[in-house]
A and B are shown apart, each in its own frame.
Chain A
Amino acid sequence: MTNQTAVLDEVMELESPLAHSEPAILSGPPGARGAELPAWFRDQQRTAWATFESLPFPNRKDQPWRFSSVDALDLSRYVPGPRLNETERTKILDHSIALDAVAGRLIFADEQLLRRDPLPEPLLKRGVLLMPLERALLEHEDLFRRHFMAQPATLGSAKFAALHQAWVTSGTFVYVPRGVEVELPIEIFHWLHGENAAVFPHILLIADELSKVTVIEHFRSAHRERAGFACGVNDLVVGQGAKVNYICAQNWNDKVLSIQMNATTVSREASGLSLNVHLGGAYSRFESLSRLTGEGARSDLLAVAVTDGTQEFDARTLQDHISPHTTSDLLYKNALTDRARNTFGGLIRVEPHAHFTDAYQTVRNLLLSDDAEANSMPGLEILADNVKCSHGATSGQINEEEMFYLLARGIPLPVAKQLLVSGFLNEVVDRLDHPAITDLVHGLIEDKFQHRPRE
């Protein structure tokens, strides 16, 4: 039901297609692969590639990359994954169900669409769209072009956003028309499969006025030992009075380099909630831009990260209050073991005239070992009056009295530790009002502990 990443290891040693001829991603944008795409899109790709090449590589001296292990960003080894054979496809599909009840499901592996479980007839009739990007840019060109990568990546990863745009071909387009509520979640899987494979997961979600939708994206590795690179974008456009929940369940193996860029735009009286669960990756960076563009807009930015070994999780956020009477609430909680590192750099910006803003930013790090390292850089930039803002970042250890209470009940130390860590993270996870997904996330976190060697 939950994380079955490890399972594939045993079954996938059939034939390793080591010899393939794809050139490295750094040798240039895709040629033949993009042949069937419209000219305007290919032009954008070429421009993006030029931008990628012109922008400098991140440097720790740049504030957006302060404390980041920029050496981890060497992209020279990554290549487009080879075509999957039937056996491989079947095995991956067997592991691509996380929620029992969904409105629709898309499953990608190494940029290849393996399966699409379409929306039910009533939703299709009401105009809800769930389709791969390459279909959307042909069939819904105006809508697509208006919103596709409309927000520039300003939190450090402009170079990677350009790389993404130069390469992206597969991904998801979701459109929910005015007044339509999609009750069940939409589930999307992105798998890394080939050795050193590069993927560019993309989702563009547009929720029109008074609509409602929940999307969960799973990021998983088919093999425990294979390195890979994921450079993804998730853009959420929340129309007036609409409500969007977006859950990112990042569970790559610990060899993967992952960069994810998010832009969320929340209109008047609308609400956007994103929950990012970061469990995998060697180096995983997440940039989140939340723009509150209409009065009464609300954005909840939630994240939990559980890192161990030498894993590094690097989060950069901007809560941008553009209109008055807007609310944003960021709550990030990280549990770090071994030599894991976490960095948080976040800014609340209240633009001129965005009076009566409520903005909160809270980061809590739970350090479970002496060698774990957490760096937090919260920030405020207030250019309006009558605002209520707070920000705070703390790091601490497990409370000894809480631990003793559990031990005194006969709960063994490793279990007690796991309970306390889960409890610490639950404050975030339980903010999501969706029991099935909450259970799923709890299960993923639990699995992460199960796979740790026992102390």
Chain B
Amino acid sequence: MNKLSITNLRVSIADQEIIRGLSLAVPKGEIHAIMGPNGSGKSTLAKVLTGHPDYKITAGEVLMDGENILALAPDERARKGLFLAFQYPSEIPGVTIANFLRAAVQARLPEGEELEATDYYAKLYEKMDLLEMDRSFTSRSVNEGFSGGEKKRNEILQLAMLQPKYAVLDETDSGLDIDALKVVAHGVNSLRGPNLGVILITHYQRLLDYIIPDHVHVMVQGRIVRSGGKELALELEEKGYESYETVKDEIGEPAMA
């Protein structure tokens, strides 16, 4: 029950199948890394889990602590405890981080209960300190004019504030220099614990030096083709994804043109 469980998931966009029978179970308390070459469907998986309207689910199910979430709207999934750290977070002009996060936190309170502003800001500032973010961030528009590192830090800030049960981090390391990478990794590690399950999607092994996964999965052509321990990441770093070409042949025609 206490897991995010994906069974035989099939997803297409514009009649092109991208996820082709993927199964994966992430128990609470564990970090699972999904690695794979570009175009393997990693980011599609992240968006589908969150409920992005562009994708069509043709088969399979996704259970969060036993509940089928595919029938839920994106905001309902989020309030039930699913979080996506976007690879490319949207810029929201005119909406400050403070107001944006307040709306998100408020949405998680019971009907009729008002957010206590002082508690909210105390928590916000604590999390911002953790991520070495300047206080002035709160009055800036969400992601507008942010550097790559600032955007990713902002994603982790939201993760820290919203305290989900399961988080999908999509290429959270992309666009980060080494210093920013350490800060982000520190933020994620501090949230690590028995109440959070994480799917860490990454192309490079680099991030896994700082966030040590419990399991590593290799995703090729819309499926998990191999699973192993953290040492699998090192092997991939060394040998690349070429050895999985044969697997690709077994699966059949490439999923992405």
On whether A412 and B107 interact (CB within 8 A), knowing A405-B89, A405-B90, A420-B92, the answer reads: yes
Segment with Cβ contacts to A, from B15-23, B97-105, B213-221: B97-105
Asked whether, in the complex, the Cβ of B94 is within 8 Å of the Cβ of A422, the reply is: yes
Q: In the complex, A402 Cα to B78 Cα: how many Å?
A: 16
Residue A150 is within 8 A (CB to CB) of chain B in the complex: no
A397-429 near B? 1/0 per residue, CB < 8 Å: 001111011111111110110011011111100
Which residues of A have CB within 8 Å of B141? 423
Q: Which of A401, A410, A419 contacts B79 (CB 8 A)?
A: A410
> Are B90 and A410 touching (Cβ within 8 A)?
no
A112 to chain B, nearest CB (A): 39
A401–B76 CA distance with the chains assembled, in angstroms:
17
The contact of A412 among B75, B89, B92, B100, by CB within 8 Å, is B75
Q: Is the CB of B94 within 8 A of A426?
A: yes
Q: How far is the CA of A400 from the CA of B52 in the complex (A)?
A: 10
Inter-chain CA distance A441–B73, complex, in Å, is 33
Tell whether, in the assembled complex, residue A410 and residue B86 are in contact, meaning their CB atoms are under 8 Å apart: no
Closest chain-B Cβ to A89's Cβ sits at a distance in Å of: 35
Most buried by A among B74, B86, B108: B74
CB-defined contacts of A407 to chain B, threshold 8 Å: 51, 73-75, 78
Find A423's partner among B52, B73, B94, B162 (CB 8 Å cutoff): B94
| Given A401-B90, A402-B90, A404-B53: A411 in contact with B95 (beta carbons within 8 A) | no
Nearest A residue (CB) for B74: A407
- A415: B residues at CB distance < 8 A: 103, 107
**Chain A residues positioned under 8 Å from B100 (CB to CB):** 406, 409, 419
A426 CB to nearest B CB, Å: 4
Residue of B nearest to A403 (CB): B90
CB of B84 to closest CB in A, whole Å: 5
Note all chain B residues with C-beta closer than 8 A to A424: 93-94
Chain A residues with CB under 8 A of B92? 402, 405-406, 419-420, 423
- Least CB distance, B50 to chain A, in whole angstroms: 5
**Which of these, A400, A410, A430, contacts B162 with CB under 8 Å?**
A410
A409, B92: Cα distance in complex, Å = 13
- CB contacts (< 8 Å) of A411 on chain B: these are 75, 103-104, 107
**CA of A419 to CA of B73 in the docked complex: distance in angstroms?**
19
Minimal Cβ-Cβ distance residue in B for A333: B94
Chain A residues, CB < 8 A from B172: none
Within the complex, what minimum Cβ distance (angstroms) separates B44 from chain A?
14
Q: Which single residue of chain B is at the shortest CB-CB distance from A424?
A: B94
Using CB atoms, name the residue of chain A closest to B75.
A407
CA distance A410 to B106 in the complex (A): 9
- B202 contacts the other chain (CB 8 A): no
Cα A426 to Cα B100 in complex, Å, equals: 14
Evaluate whether A408 and B95 lie within 8 angstroms (CB atoms) in the complex, with A415-B107, A423-B141 already known: no
**Set of chain B residues within 8 Å of A412, measured between Cβ atoms:** 75, 107
Q: Which residue of B lies closest to A404 (CB)?
A: B52
* Most chain B CB inside 10 Å of its own CB: which residue of A401, A409, A425: A409
- B40 is an interface residue with CB less than 8 A from chain A: no
Note all chain B residues with C-beta closer than 8 A to A426.
93-95
B93:A408 contact, CB within 8 angstroms: no
The interface of chain B, by Cβ under 8 A from chain A, is: 50-53, 73-76, 78-79, 84, 86, 89-95, 99-100, 103-104, 107-108, 141, 158, 162
Q: 14 pairs across A/B with beta carbons < 8 Å?
A: A400-B53, A401-B90, A406-B92, A407-B73, A407-B75, A410-B78, A410-B107, A411-B107, A416-B75, A419-B95, A423-B94, A426-B93, A427-B93, A427-B94
